[in-house]
A and B are shown apart, each in its own frame.
Chain A
Amino acid sequence: MINPPLSISISIFYSFFIALRSELYIIDAILPLTLLYIHRRELKKIALHLLKVELFLFILALLVYLFENDLDTSLLILQRSILIVTTTVLIFWGRDSFFIYKGLSSLGFPTKICSMSLFATKMIELSLKELERSKETLRARCFKPKTDIKSYKVYGWLFGVVTFKILQRSNVLAQSLKARGFRGEIASKLEVGFGYKEYVVLSIVLLDFIFFLWVYSR
């Protein structure tokens, strides 16, 4: 697995690098392919996940083709989105939810931004737990989801309850920060290692960028 600061830097750089271009080359696919190789043991799981995400991209490209009748644009949209989504999913695959906070923190972002990302992650983590708990409650109380008004009403209540609990949680978070003497400091224990995987991934991105500059300057 690649270290958090490099993962964040590469995912941002690669996304912009691909998104802002009108021509793509085979060399652009080396990064996602390498990442796929790094995660080769979980290939089946990743493929299923990507299939779900990219099916939506395929439908989007198909709609562009059908309505605009422009095959080149729809193919470019499809290729670009697949490259960006696949690379991002693979970079963050199997990481815990605090990975982005760790990355931002070790990249030297201001404490305010880091703590904001930490608190946002904490809220997401707790909300997901809350949602899971609500789902279990519905199951335990014999709720059978249907496509009728009663089911939608229950979904509405569920949304309301989760929102209310999140608001309550954020209020308590403020109290917790006060009780624990928060003065803007969160110490991170992360030691950023730079192994062969980091070197390989960084070299591929640089190579891709140099190739692009060479093609562009010709």
Chain B
Amino acid sequence: MSCSVNIIDLSYKIEDIALFENISLDVSHKEKVAIVGANGSGKTTLLKIIAGLIKQSSGEIKIFHESMKNLNDFDKHRGDIGYLFQDSDDQFIAPTVLEDVAFSLVNMGLDKEEAFQKARAQLVKLEIENLEDKIVYRLSGGEKRIVALAGILVLEPKILLLDEPSNALDDGCKKRVQNILNSIDSSTIIVSHELDFIKKVECKEYELTQKGLLLIS
């Protein structure tokens, strides 16, 4: 099966101390993978490396079989990679919900009106059209998470990287996010420390340890 992401012998060190070493993982086309691990095990760092936001200490990342030698190589795949930040406030850029969801579309060169139309359709799809004109920073935790997801899904990315998607959500919101994730067709890597949440998303599970990724199920 063709792979969307190949991680080969990846290591990351902070001041000579290894956060993780020699990690290898292949994520096939439309496959969903979950990575669990203790706090501070490097889950977010690993995801940021895959997204091309920070550089690994050693090892190789391939996106659609193309080796990413430096961070600039990721630029041409930016529209194909959707990255959900751990804290939704970090992800928001534009002031209102609609403007923020349309943000990436406009930057990908879409006409403003067309971008708003697509963003509106995404809000309807996730049943949050009532939030359209709200200021993003003043939404509840659950609403912020769904809006942040909308801002990514609107691009229809081929690779989805989700950092703690269930962060600070109540049971109702978690279920909603799980349903959204189960309905997505992209290759997905989810990192989380919540095993219960991951169990309800149809995906392969790995545990991140200092020595590498261990397949759980």
Interface residues of B in 106-129 (CB under 8 A from A): 106-108, 112, 115-116
Q: Taking the complex as formed, is A33 at the interface, i.e. its CB lies under 8 A from any CB of chain B? A: no
Provide the B88-117 mask, 1 if CB < 8 A to any CB of A, else 0.
011111111011001110111000100110
Interface residues of B in 125-154 (CB under 8 A from A): 133, 135, 137, 151
Say which residue of A96, A176, A181 sits within 8 Å of B85 (CB atoms). A176
Give 13 A-B contacts (CB < 8 Å), ordered by A residue: A96-B135, A172-B87, A175-B53, A176-B85, A177-B93, A178-B78, A179-B51, A179-B81, A181-B79, A186-B106, A187-B106, A188-B99, A189-B133
- Residue of A101, A102, A178, A187 with most partner-chain B CB within 10 A: A187
In the complex, the number of residue pairs spanning A and B with C-beta atoms less than 8 Å apart equals 83
Residues of B within 8 A of A121 (CB): 95
| Residue pair A176, B116 in contact (C-beta under 8 Å) | no
Q: Taking the complex as formed, is A98 at the interface, i.e. its CB lies under 8 A from any CB of chain B? A: yes
| Residue pair A181, B104 in contact (C-beta under 8 Å) | yes
Q: Taking the complex as formed, is A173 at the interface, i.e. its CB lies under 8 A from any CB of chain B? A: yes
Report the count of interface residues on B (CB-CB < 8 A): 34
Please report A residues at the B interface, Cβ cutoff 8 Å: 96, 98, 101-102, 118, 121-122, 125-126, 129, 169, 172-173, 175-189
Q: Taking the complex as formed, is B48 at the interface, i.e. its CB lies under 8 A from any CB of chain A? A: yes
Say which residue of B83, B95, B99, B133 sits within 8 Å of A179 (CB atoms). B83
Residues of A within 8 A of B52 (CB): 178
How many Å lie between the Cα of A188 and that of B51 in the bound state?
A: 27
| Residue pair A182, B107 in contact (C-beta under 8 Å) | yes
Residues of A within 8 A of B115 (CB): 187
Q: Can you name the residue of chain A whose Cβ is closest to the Cβ of B71?
A: A178
Say which residue of A125, A126, A129, A182 sits within 8 Å of B93 (CB atoms). A182
| Residue pair A173, B107 in contact (C-beta under 8 Å) | no
In angstroms, how far is the closest chain B Cβ from the Cβ of A121?
A: 8
Residues of A within 8 A of B81 (CB): 179
Q: Can you name the residue of chain B whose Cβ is closest to the Cβ of A183?
A: B107
| Residue pair A180, B107 in contact (C-beta under 8 Å) | yes
Given contact pairs A118-B95, A129-B137, A176-B91, A185 touches B106 in the complex (Cβ within 8 A): yes
Given contact pairs A98-B135, A179-B53, A179-B83, A118 touches B106 in the complex (Cβ within 8 A): no
Residues of A within 8 A of B78 (CB): 178-179, 181
How many Å lie between the Cα of A178 and that of B104 in the bound state?
A: 10
Provide the B34-72 mask, 1 if CB < 8 A to any CB of A, else 0.
000000000000001001111000000000000000000
Q: Can you name the residue of chain A whose Cβ is closest to the Cβ of B91?
A: A176
Given contact pairs A126-B89, A172-B90, A180 touches B103 in the complex (Cβ within 8 A): yes
In angstroms, how far is the closest chain B Cβ from the Cβ of A180?
A: 5
Q: Can you name the residue of chain A whose Cβ is closest to the Cβ of B105?
A: A187
Residues of A within 8 A of B151 (CB): 180
In angstroms, how far is the closest chain A Cβ from the Cβ of B74?
A: 8
Q: Can you name the residue of chain B whose Cβ is closest to the Cβ of A126?
A: B89
Q: Can you name the residue of chain A whose Cβ is closest to the Cβ of B108?
A: A181
How many Å lie between the Cα of A185 and that of B103 in the bound state?
A: 8
